[in-house]
Amino acid sequence: MIPTYNELENLPMAVTAVLEALPDSHVLVVDDSSPDGTGALADVMAAREARVHVLHRSVKDGLGGAYLAGFAWALDRGYAFIGEFDADGSHPAAALPLMQDVIRRTDGAALVIGSRWVIGGTVVDWPLARQLLSRGGNTYARVALALPVHDVTAGFRLYRAEALRVMDLGSVRSKGYCFQIDLTVRLLAAGGRITELPIEFRERRYGTSKMSRAVVVEAMALVTVWGIARVLGRPRRWTAARLGSPVVRPWTGSDLTRR
């Protein structure tokens, strides 16, 4: 899934990169009525390429809303693995085959995260202030929620469909980058196994970042509320079922069950 809002210049490169990396995959562009014509361009691409699909949304209610709509679309059509990929060129599509290999061949794997903040992960062309904001936000979320995930706000992800089905997605209200934290906590509560793979994350080439003060405030506020509830022993009902015993670990190459 590639969520878009005013990504006209970036979209063709993102879609092409994904399809070249995973030729057997399909791409769903979830466009929030971009005024720059991104949605119309996506329609043209879908008309020319059967592996490209487009979901137009009439409301712009944040990244979380776009992904929830995309999850519902993919789950209704029976896809076994569902990924998140940014349109802006920051995620390395070349990492997708390994992510797919890990989630397919690791026993109990529910989610693979392309991580900036594990050993081997790097960030290219980001200003120091942006790096500090990301590292600080991740550290705060990890401490407040007792999470073992290093890059809990990462948006480069590949989920096993069964893992999404056990989560009560209908109760998700987070809109911005906090959405990634929200789903991580829900997956861990369901006993999901998470693997973090180091990636090289690059700053976007065209357009402007969707990060805003409101997005940061939402994330800080929700994480604080959830953290207080955890300390008081009042955890939310995150899931509809359970997957097993939660495991989170960085990628070492030794976890694959050869089949």
CATH number at residue 36: 3.90.550.10
Higher-scoring residue by pLDDT: 198, 252: 198
**In this structure, is residue 128 part of a structural domain?**
yes
In three-state secondary structure terms, 77 is coil
Q: Are 82 and 71 within 8 A, CB to CB?
A: yes
- Structural domain of 171: 2-250
> Could you give the CA distance from residue 113 to residue 103 in angstroms, rounded to a whole number?
10
**In this structure, is residue 258 part of a structural domain?**
no
Query: Count of CB atoms within 10 A of residue 192's CB?
Result: 29
22, 159, 222 from 173: Cα distances, Å:
31, 19, 10
Per-residue confidence at 250, pLDDT binned at 50, 70, 90? low
pLDDT in tens, 19-42: 999 999 999 999 999 999 999 999
Per-residue confidence at 226, pLDDT binned at 50, 70, 90? confident
**In this structure, is residue 89 part of a structural domain?**
yes
**In this structure, is residue 257 part of a structural domain?**
no
Q: How many domains does the chain have?
A: 1
Per-residue confidence at 239, pLDDT binned at 50, 70, 90? very low
In three-state secondary structure terms, 245 is coil
> Could you give the CA distance from residue 120 to residue 31 in angstroms, rounded to a whole number?
33
Whether the pTM exceeds 0.75: the reply is yes
